[in-house]
Amino acid sequence: MTKDKNKYIKYFESKIKESNIDNENNQSLNLKHVVVHAKCSFNNTLFTVTDLSGNALMWSSPACHGFKGSRRSTTFAARVALVDIAKKLNELDIESISLRLKGVGPGRRQISKILNDFSLEVQSIEDVTPLPFNGTKMRVKRRI
């Protein structure tokens, strides 16, 4: 049993070493184009930056910057998180980005303006909000 356990531990450690992406590795990747995923819900706004193959490079949210409770749902909190992402992208010398928006939260409106302020060229804006084709069954009308 312990031999099998050691095999699995060694296997997963090797996979973790292969898949880890640090800031040093980001600079050696020579990325010129990345994808910024923004999930804007009514309670929070999450930003994730990935390369074109979908590997996460960095992320940020209002909670990472000390916002708690209902203050996370404000446009100011979303702005603080996005400015942090934009500064990191400028440090990596990213030239252009694709923007994928999901959800209908309050932080959604200012995203492209903030990215343009940091001289990041937005090549495409895509809305990936999930929409139901038919939805759930309607509620039965009450009979009195």
Structure tokens at 142: 């009450």
Spell out where the chain has E strands.
33-40, 45-50, 56-60, 96-102, 121-127
Q: Which amino acid is at 105?
A: G
With a cut of 50, say whether residue 16 has pLDDT above it: no
> Taking Cα atoms as reference points, which of 52, 99, 103 lies closest to residue 73?
103
Beta-sheet pairing, 96-102 with 121-127: parallel
Q: What is the pLDDT of residue 95?
A: 84
Q: pLDDT band for 9, please (50, 70, 90 cuts).
A: low
Contacts of 60 (CB under 8 A, 6+ apart): 46, 47, 81, 82, 84, 85
Structure tokens at 20: 């880890």
- Range of lowest pLDDT (24-38, 79-93, 101-115): 24-38
Structure tokens at 133: 């084709």
Q: Write out pLDDT tens, residues 60-73.
A: 999 988 889 889 88
Q: Write out pLDDT tens, residues 92-136.
A: 888 889 999 999 888 788 888 888 888 888 899 999 998 888 888
Domain 27-127: assigned CATH number:
3.30.420.80
User: Where in the chain are the domains?
Assistant: 27-127
Structure tokens at 132: 């139901």
Q: What is the pLDDT of residue 113?
A: 83
Q: Write out pLDDT tens, residues 40-63.
A: 999 999 999 998 888 898 999 999
